[in-house]
Structure 1
């Protein structure tokens, strides 16, 4: 298979990446991985976002340990699931950690991926060696203005795909993103192709829209889980963005993220200056530093 996503990621990493796969009842989860050693670091992206988003940090982390950039079902290179549910996403991620993690893993989750990381840590603590939550979603931060805006954008995306208007917009956005990855035109073209591949199928658009509705539809259930659950006694770093929302909203979200860190003895909360919600894109060194700090704590350095 001519895997444009893996080829793009390989262009940034000495020695390249390899493709990993896990069968899940007639469908396949896929990821790219690089590096060697333990513990394995598993990167889980935000809502509707493929593992390609972790390109800014993958190379630096792979210099120190094995790293997996994971595509959830229906995103990136992974096959779609029949239904997108919280349970299916938690089960898929838990299966990946259990069967391909080579022991307890450091789970790194951004936004919705950070919520999934907590759900997995609550239900399967033995799979977790450490956690890094990158501006994680929280069930008690669901402003109606943001939920309405996300719903409108999701429906517009589906509509644009249906009538054939999305391609030009996607290509322009992909070119902007590719210019951040490299100044080499060849590498930029690879990333444009990879971004387009992550938006080439209707099921990718549908999965993205479905994921955007999950937390809002299960706020009470997640609240109950948080109230009765504990994160494992493992190193935890929670990173908060410093910009990208009105001041009051950002303060509320940051306070909730601080509470996540305070809920465990080994928790640490860090506000990253000049970082927007995609901290791994705007300030990738902050994410790399946090992950490697958790690695060092696990090894007692």
Structure 2
């Protein structure tokens, strides 16, 4: 993916953010690059961590509002979007990349969705001195798998296993275009800007390697239970403001109940943790109820700045 004015993600987000966005990058092992887009100037920075298989562009609905009061950084994990792949994708490699980003941009508030919510927690455990606060949006928890109906688990595995094949035969590009249009329509009513967002989303999944990373991340989520439990057991949550938002739609009752219970448990680990249920929201809370997400991030920022208890 090109950088600067020719970068479709930069072009799309700059059309949504009054002062535009810029590209940043960090060189990791073997010379690979971890890349992000950033908008806004106020400190402290806010780092956005996307769900499994998603890219920084996934935050396009809330990024303009967040950039009004903070320096907002939305990064692409290794192998996705503009970031180079890693030789071996693991939970540890993903956490280390996020920690390296935190070390680069300075102490920050972490905002994580789904799988990104788990990564944000693990990065906070690993680098408490660089974590100023947390906002977790319907975060993935390793103990929810048992409550997912078997039929759903089987169908999901079949879908993710088929993704590389769909890319080869051209069907994935149609899926990406449809998802890009849906995202664009949530961002703006301007058809020209919608076209830019749609094209940027398609560009984020242009190669077969990018699409294969979607499958790899979802497989990683299904296989990380023991590793995550061990990390929780040996870690201490930093004393920082924390909000966890959970969805109300799209889950079977048992899974919804279990997710809520685990969210309560997660919030209780943090001295200043708060769990809030977001009405009329599906899993992608930042798209379904963006105002709730912006409010939660600003509440945490206010606590970081000492403006609220």
TM-score normalised by structure 1 residue count: 0.96
In the other structure, the counterpart of 2:45 is 40
Which of the numbers 272, 277, 280 marks the counterpart of 1:274? 280
Q: Provide the residue aligned with 1:31 in structure 2.
A: 36
Q: Which residue of 2 aligns with 1:20?
A: 24
Count of residues in correspondence between the two structures:
299
Which residue is 1:121 aligned to? 124
Does the residue aligned with 1:89 lie in a helix, a strand or coil?
Answer: helix
The question of 1:63 aligning with 2:68 is answered yes
For residue 177 of structure 1, the aligned residue among 178, 183, 201 is 183
Distance 1:11 1:91 in 2: 32
Indicate whether 1:203 and 2:209 are aligned. Answer: yes
Deviates more, 1:42-51 or 1:150-159: 150-159
Structure 1 counterpart of 2:102: 97
Return the offset for 1:146: 4.1
Q: Deviations over 1:44-95 (max 9, x none)?
A: 0000000101011111111111110111111111111111111110111000
Which moved further from structure 2: 31-40 or 136-145? 136-145
Alpha-carbon spacing, 1:231–1:146, altered in 2? closer, same or farther (3 Å): farther
Question: Normalised by the size of structure 2, how large is the TM-score?
Answer: 0.94
Residues 158-206 of structure 1, C-alpha deviation per residue, up to 9 Å, x if partnerless?
A: 1111222322333233223322221111101101110110110111111
| 1:237 and 2:240 are equivalent in the alignment | no
Q: Quick check: 2:99–2:126 contact (8 Å CA) kept in 1?
A: no
2:111 pairs with one of 99, 105, 108: 108
Counterpart residue number, 2:14:
10
Q: Which residues of 2 match residues 251-270 of structure 1 at below 5 A?
A: 251-270=257-276
Q: CA deviation at 1:128?
A: 0.4
Aligned residue in 2 for 1:130: 133
Provide, for residues 199-258 of structure 1, a one-character-per-residue CA deviation record: whole Å limited to 9, x for no partner.
101111111101001132121121122123221000010111111111121111111011
Distance 1:145 1:256 in 2: 23
Deviation at 1:139, TM superposition (A): 0.8
Equivalent positions of 1:137-156 (< 5 A) are: 137-142=140-145, 143=148, 144-156=150-162
CA 1:114–1:146 in 2, change beyond 3 Å: closer, same or farther? farther
Q: CA RMSD in A?
A: 1.2
- When residues 170 and 258 of structure 1 are mapped into structure 2, their CA distance, relative to the original with a 3 A threshold, is same
String of CA shifts for 1:246-300, please: whole Å, max 9, x gaps. Answer: 1121111111011100112110000000011000000011111011000100111
Change (3 A) 1:300 1:198: same
User: Unpaired runs of 5+ in structure 1?
Assistant: none
Question: In structure 2, how many angstroms separate the alpha carbons of the residues matched to 1:172 and 1:212?
Answer: 21
The Cα of 1:147 is off from its aligned counterpart by 3.5
Contact between 1:150 and 1:212, CA under 8 Å: does it hold in 2?
A: no
Unaligned runs of 5+ in 2: none
